[in-house]
Amino acid sequence: MISVTFVCLGNICRSPMAQLIFEKLVAERGLKNSFAISSFGTSDCEEGNRIYPAAKKILLENGVEGEHIARQISLKDVINNDYILVMDSENLMDILRLTGGEFGEKIFKLCSFTANPRDVADPWYTRNFQKAYSDILDGCKSFLDYLLLHKQQAFEYDSRH
């Protein structure tokens, strides 16, 4: 079992998009039972709110279903996950502030797994939800490819038990 949590600022646009996209990719590979997938915000500004309508719309246009209620990440959530995948440099700084600089070995920017490492720009400000979707999809696919290549034992173990 590999636990993955996606993190952005508000947890109503990018990280719930990443959670639902990654859940779909994993299900398509028949690997649902090998993962615990979640998402959080670094801030509590949207706590309790559903996915932002423009983000929800682009997900549905691309056949990605599901809902999420926003919540703020705590140190416990960092400790309890194998991978903390943030969207941008600001998220990374906020998480490292939360951990006091610890757990850096499992905290990554999502698009650091792609051939073109970059931030996922915040569509709350850019209004470009299509670009956010494409960047997140690229990041999720590349991260899953990385796991399939480097963490093969985890999947073999899960398929035997």
Q: Rounded to a whole number, what is the distance in angstroms from the first to the last CA of the chain?
A: 11
CB of 125 to ligand 4NP, least distance (A): 7
Nearest to ligand 4NP of 6, 83 (CB atom): 6
* 142: CB partners within 8 A, 6+ apart: 111, 113, 114, 115
Provide the minimum distance between the beta carbon of 19 and ligand 4NP in the complex, in angstroms, as a whole number: 11
- 8 given a catalytic annotation: yes
- Interface residues with ligand 4NP (CB under 6 A) are 8-14, 45-46, 122, 124
Structural contact between residues 59 and 65, judged by C-beta atoms closer than 8 angstroms? yes
67/105 with CB nearer ligand 4NP: 67
- Compare residues 10 and 81 and give the one whose CB is closer to ligand 4NP: 10
CB nearer to ligand 4NP: pick between 4 and 12: 12
Which residues, 6+ apart, have CB-to-CB distance to 84 below 8 Å?
A: 5, 7, 78, 95, 103, 106, 107, 108
Q: Could you say which of 77, 122, 135, 138 is catalytic?
A: 122
Residues 8, 13, 111, 140: which is the catalytic one?
A: 8
The CB-nearest residue to ligand 4NP is 10
Sheet holding 35-41, edge to edge: 35-41, 2-8, 83-86, 107-109
Q: Is 14 annotated in the active site?
A: yes
Active site positions, annotated: 8, 14, 122
